[in-house]
Amino acid sequence: MDNIKIVIVEDEAIVAMDLEQRLIGMGFHVVEIFKNGNDLLEHLSTLSVDLLLMDINLKSDMDGIELYKLVKEQYNIPAIFSTAYSDPSTLARVKALDPYGYIVKPYNDQELFRTIDIGLYKFKLTSELKEREEILQCIADSANDCIMMLDENADVIFWNQVSEAHFGLSSNDIIGKNWMDILYTDSEDSSSVDVNKHIPKIDKNATFDILAKNLDGQGMPMRMSVMPAEIKGLRRTICVMKDMSGQLKKEAELKRTKAKAEISDTAKQIFLSNISHELRTPLNGIIGMTELLSETQLSSEQSQYVNVLQKSSSMLLDTINDILDLTKLETGKLELEYKELSVKSIVMKIVEQYAYESRNKDITVNYEIDDFFPDKFIGDEFRIQQILSNIVDNAVKFTEKGHVTIKVEAQNIRYSYNEPLATVCITVADSGIGIYQKDLETIFDSFSQVDGSMTRGYEGAGIGLNLVKRLISIMNGHVNVESVPGKGSEFQVIFDLVISTEVKKRDAAIVTDSSTIVGSSNKVVQPESFEDLFVLVAEDNVVGQQVISHILNHKNIKFHLVENGARAIKALESRAYDIIFMDIEMPEMDGIEAALQIRESSVDRFNPLVPIVALTGHSTEADKERIIAAGMDGILIKPVRIEDVYNIISSTLFERDTVSVLQENTVDAFIPEMFIGEEDLYYQLVQVFVVDAKERVKSIVEAFGMNDWITIEKESHSLKGSASYVEAVKVTEEAVELNNMMKKNEYEYTDLAIQNLKNHVNDFCKKIENHLVEIKKQ
Ligand code: ADP
């Protein structure tokens, strides 16, 4: 107790001394004794005091009670009063001062000590409580929100500073009053009334949106969080109110901006669809009229112009469609259409299209499909085709030589939510110009093209890959790319597809006659007319492909083109064909071998009795025998005439004749007989032939320099095929001669044969070129 410093205020010197002695005896430290209040007030600021022991009845100007009132105004020092009189009125005055104790004279040591001890303890507790209260007050005042506490009658018992500032109401204005009377607006908003009804009953935290009024009577939207509390067993409600005016304003602003954006989006959509309609209508006119124009008699120059017109207008249409799709994707308005589809058919269609479109380039477009790849899926056929077309289009565009290969695999076949699912992985690899690493990051952005000389000169709007990325992403898939500049690129699209569970029975075929098979997946219905037909053409020669395509197109006969026997068999596995035109000499697998395999095939693979017509440049008896022995139904000797093709289809399919053999033509005129009336087709073909033949002769000469007999054999074979189509008789003869020499490994007169071939090719080309110049003049 020696560190407790006590000041005595006592006007009786003896009493003061007695008290001092007692206190010292108890171990307290008596700092000073003052006889009156003025002395104390004068010196108190210079002293360090823990407790005042004050006589109530001081004889001087003020008594102890008045003195302590003044002390309390400035100092936080506890006081214990002593008095010789304990009359009720004095005690009442003492109590009003909230003293820490009082003691009645004469002093008793024990009582004195206990009173001081309890007084100091009470002071300590009160100080701590006060500190805690100040902390809480500080927190309440520093909060951003208005805080009020209500009693069980919804009268306000606490009101923080923020509330004061916010509502312009001091604590005095509101404490003790019902919050509704002060804050409730008489607007139509009824939420405050509801809250008031609820407040006494709320047993857990709740939030209400109310319209409270400020001092000026203006309504303020407030979000009020209400929490029940119990203080000293009494029900209290804590209300935290947040002014929502700012936020509501922001929300309204946001709504307005969104609505504006939506309106402008809709306007954009309407504008785009209008403009695209406006663009597409005349474009369709151009495309349609160009098509019709192409069907009329045109000079070769005009044909070329029409060709360019057709290509350009269809490219423009594609670009317009792409832009439309992009905007639909951007506004989330593009929806997928789920139907049964065959990925295999999509890929084959694309391969066919691009094999044809790239015929003037030295590239092969082909595909590889996993043996176990499921046949049917559920998905958006058009969008999958769009994705692949864009990638393959680029691959063909950026590849001058080599290959474009589409590989299709199914990975991770599994059940998800009771549906069979496969991850389809389609890789498009090319041997083109490739893409630099730095450009790989941007090629999927819209309107991005690899900058620099590498791609300059290639057409395109830079939309395709962006469209691919967006389309594949709405299909929940992704696209990857790897590339080595100068070597080629590999694009890979990966997406999940549901495997169609519709049962497609591969029943055993029921053979009814030689050309009609029903019941298998390769169901063949006897065609009624040419337009019902679906023809497969296996021909490796580009000129041959063009001739047969033209002839079939002329009668609106649908067809697929493949470049060898193996591909023909693969094609048969994917769909039914009514008839096959099969070139006899083709690389990889020739027509005889393919026909043999088809005839020996089992019925559940495809229709093994599909009619096959051989296309051949040979007409020897031995050849015919080989063809018939392979089970073929007809022979067409090249060069084929339009009528021959229709006749053989009719006789094979509609009349079901026995094997038909159509005879070779002998034509001397400049325009071969078969092209009479089709002169423009002939001019188109010979132009293709001229380029092709010159290339092949060049390649033969180079190969001869390296004793590369295989290449000479291959090139002379191709040359004899295309020469026979355009009826370049001498060239055909020389090519056959050279080809036979190579087949028989007779190399002695190769140089002579090559020279002859070269001369005849040059003669023929010159003749053609002169003729074309003549026509142009007319
Ligand atoms: P574009 O219409 O120009 O082809 P894309 O978005 O389809 O637009 O392609 C963007 C760019 O990516 C192309 O311009 C080209 O530079 C590059 N690119 C795409 N595919 C290939 C590819 N197979 N080989 C080389 N470059 C490619």
Distance from C-alpha of 760 to C-alpha of 730, rounded to nearest angstrom = 6
Give the type of residue at 777: K
pLDDT band of residue 433 (cuts 50, 70, 90) is: very high
Q: Which residue has the tokens 């000389």?
A: 453
Strand 401-416, strand 362-369: pairing: parallel
Give the residue, by CA position, lying nearest to ligand 1 atom 12.
Answer: 443
Span from the CA of 469 to the centroid of ligand 1 (angstroms): 13
For the chain, give the mean pLDDT. Answer: 81
Cβ(485) – ligand 1 distance below 6 Å: no
Q: What is the distance of C-alpha 734 from the center of its chain?
A: 59
State yes or no: pLDDT of 387 exceeds 80. yes
Cβ(324) – ligand 1 distance below 6 Å: no
Give the residue, by CA position, lying nearest to ligand 1 atom 21.
Answer: 394
Q: What pLDDT is attached to residue 542? A: 73
Cβ(454) – ligand 1 distance below 6 Å: no
Average pLDDT over residues 380-394: 93
* Residue from 433, 458, 465, 490 whose mutation best tests the ligand 1 pocket (most atoms within 8 A of CB): 465
Q: What pLDDT is attached to residue 53? A: 94
Span from the CA of 443 to the centroid of ligand 1 (angstroms): 7
In degrees and rounded to multiples of 5, residue 59 shows phi and psi of -80, -15
Tell me: the pLDDT tens digits for 173-232?
889 998 877 776 654 444 555 666 666 667 778 888 888 877 777 778 888 888 888 888
Q: What pLDDT is attached to residue 665? A: 36
Closest ligand 1 atom, residue 488 Cα? 24
Q: Which among 675, 711, 710 has a CA at the least distance from the CA of 695?
A: 711
Span from the CA of 473 to the centroid of ligand 1 (angstroms): 19
426: which strand partners?
408, 493
Closest ligand 1 atom, residue 395 Cα? 23
* Residue from 389, 394, 467, 487 whose mutation best tests the ligand 1 pocket (most atoms within 8 A of CB): 394
Give the residue, by CA position, lying nearest to ligand 1 atom 16.
Answer: 450
Give the residue, by CA position, lying nearest to ligand 1 atom 20.
Answer: 394
Q: What pLDDT is attached to residue 447? A: 59
Cβ(636) – ligand 1 distance below 6 Å: no
Cβ(462) – ligand 1 distance below 6 Å: yes
Confirm if 310 and 293 have CB atoms less than 8 A apart: no
Distance from C-alpha of 58 to C-alpha of 41, rounded to nearest angstrom = 14
Confirm if 701 and 712 have CB atoms less than 8 A apart: no
Cβ(435) – ligand 1 distance below 6 Å: yes
Span from the CA of 463 to the centroid of ligand 1 (angstroms): 9
Q: What pLDDT is attached to residue 508? A: 26
Tell me: the pLDDT tens digits for 524-547?
334 557 777 889 999 887 777 777
Give the type of residue at 313: S
Span from the CA of 277 to the centroid of ligand 1 (angstroms): 27
Cβ(683) – ligand 1 distance below 6 Å: no
| E strand or H helix that includes residue 8 | strand 5-9
Q: Which two tokens stand for residue 546?
A: 């063009």
Distance from C-alpha of 660 to C-alpha of 646, rounded to nearest angstrom = 12
Tell me: the pLDDT tens digits for 118-170?
999 999 998 899 889 888 888 887 788 899 998 888 889 999 888 888 888 88
User: Buried (b) or exposed (e) across 437-459, using 16+ Cβ within 10 A?
Assistant: eebeeebbebeebbeeebeeeee
Q: What pLDDT is attached to residue 522? A: 33
State yes or no: pLDDT of 452 exceeds 50. no
Q: What pLDDT is attached to residue 78? A: 93
Distance from C-alpha of 367 to C-alpha of 531, rounded to nearest angstrom = 28
Span from the CA of 280 to the centroid of ligand 1 (angstroms): 25
Closest ligand 1 atom, residue 430 Cα? 23
Give the residue, by CA position, lying nearest to ligand 1 atom 7.
Answer: 464
Average pLDDT over residues 726-744: 87
Q: What pLDDT is attached to residue 416? A: 64
Strand 206-213, strand 79-83: pairing: unpaired
Confirm if 466 and 326 have CB atoms less than 8 A apart: yes
Cβ(455) – ligand 1 distance below 6 Å: yes
Confirm if 194 and 211 have CB atoms less than 8 A apart: no
State yes or no: pLDDT of 371 exceeds 80. no
Which residues have CB under 8 Å from 169's CB, separation 6+? 159, 163, 182, 215
Confirm if 464 and 453 have CB atoms less than 8 A apart: no
Tell me: the pLDDT tens digits for 672-683?
766 766 677 777
Distance from C-alpha of 436 to C-alpha of 776, rounded to nearest angstrom = 45
Span from the CA of 322 to the centroid of ligand 1 (angstroms): 15
Q: Which two tokens stand for residue 471?
A: 């389309």
pLDDT band of residue 604 (cuts 50, 70, 90) is: confident
* Residue from 406, 443, 467 whose mutation best tests the ligand 1 pocket (most atoms within 8 A of CB): 443
Give the residue, by CA position, lying nearest to ligand 1 atom 25.
Answer: 434
Distance from C-alpha of 233 to C-alpha of 236, rounded to nearest angstrom = 9
Closest ligand 1 atom, residue 446 Cα? 6
Q: Give the per-residue SS3 of 426-477.
A: EEEEECCCCCCHHHHCCCCCCCCCCCCCCCCCCCCCCCHHHHHHHHHHHCCC
Tell me: the pLDDT tens digits for 612-651?
999 887 666 777 788 888 888 888 877 677 777 888 888 7
Closest ligand 1 atom, residue 448 Cα? 10
Q: What pLDDT is attached to residue 276? A: 67
DSSP label at residue 673: G
Give the residue, by CA position, lying nearest to ligand 1 atom 23.
Answer: 395
Span from the CA of 496 to the centroid of ligand 1 (angstroms): 25
Q: What is the distance of C-alpha 361 from the center of its chain?
A: 34
Confirm if 470 and 420 have CB atoms less than 8 A apart: no
Q: What pLDDT is attached to residue 3? A: 84
Span from the CA of 465 to the centroid of ligand 1 (angstroms): 7
% of residues, the chain, pLDDT over 90? 26
% of residues, the chain, pLDDT over 70? 84
State yes or no: pLDDT of 510 exceeds 60. no
